[in-house]
Chains A and B, each alone.
Chain A
Amino acid sequence: EAGVTQSPTHLIKTRGQQATLRCSPISGHTSVYWYQQALGLGLQFLLWYDEGEERNRGNFPPRFSGRQFPNYSSELNVNALELEDSALYLCASSPDRGYGYTFGSGTRLTVV
């Protein structure tokens, strides 16, 4: 069974540009969660999608947005990139709400 896959693995962008990160959950998992892990700050909850709908949002500005497609894959978009957006972005999926997340390996976003 394929795990949670994220692409790209690494992404380098210039301040002010837009970044698009992608996540494919485990087959059968309908919930997708996005987290930001900046250096020294632990995991910060970004977004939760379930059944194609945004269910919950963390304390991040509106330039962080995303969507979930009919096949339950998800996309995270970050507009007007700032230097402090540099972080590891982790996607997770679960078969049941709030139980046992499976994480992808993450996308490391560097903003220069």
Chain B
Amino acid sequence: SQQGEEDPQALSIQEGENATMNCSYKTSINNLQWYRQNSGRGLVHLILIRSNEREKHSGRLRVTLDTSKKSSSLLITASRAADTASYFCALKGGSNYKLTFGKGTLLTVNP
């Protein structure tokens, strides 16, 4: 299966702290994407990292990709209560154009 697996399943931190969540996968990928979902609503695309990239930044987000270990991490710096959401990694592999999502990490940022 191409499904990514997020770790941890749940994470609770205080406002201002950094949050790190990880995604591991088993097959080769073309790109890996991170999405956020607030409270059972639609997902919002956060960042895309291609298989030939090692690190990308977007505002307070930093994503790394290690294709040799088949893993990625999402770092949210200086977290805010509004960052409370579920975060999903999604994989795109080869000629298969669909994205395959993991089960997500539930992040709770306490004020």
A residues at B contact (CB < 8 Å):
4, 31, 33, 35, 40-43, 45, 48, 50, 55-56, 58, 88, 90, 92, 97-106, 108
Contact = CB atoms under 8 A, between A and B. Distances in A.
A99 B48 contact: yes
A90 B97 CA distance: 17
B33 A43 contact: no
Contacts, number: 64
B42 A106 contact: yes
A98 B92 contact: yes
Task: Name the residue in B45, B99, B100 with the highest tally of chain A Cβ atoms < 10 Å from its Cβ.
Answer: B99
B42 A98 contact: no
A45 B102 contact: no
5 contacts: A43-B43, A56-B96, A99-B31, A103-B35, A105-B41
A98 B30 contact: yes
Contact of A98 (B99, B103, B104): B99
Interface residues of B, number: 23
Contacts of B90: 101
B6 to A, nearest CB: 9
A98 B41 contact: no
Given A4-B42, A90-B43, A105-B41, A100 B48 contact: yes
Interface string B20-63: 00000000001101010000111111001000000000000000
Contact of B104 (A33, A42, A99, A102): A42
Contacts of A41: 103
Interface string B80-111: 00000000101010001111111110000000
B17 to A, nearest CB: 26
A12 to B, nearest CB: 16
Contacts of B42: 4, 90, 103-106
Nearest to A41: B103
A42 B102 contact: yes
Contacts of A97: 97
Nearest to B50: A99
A56 B93 CA distance: 14
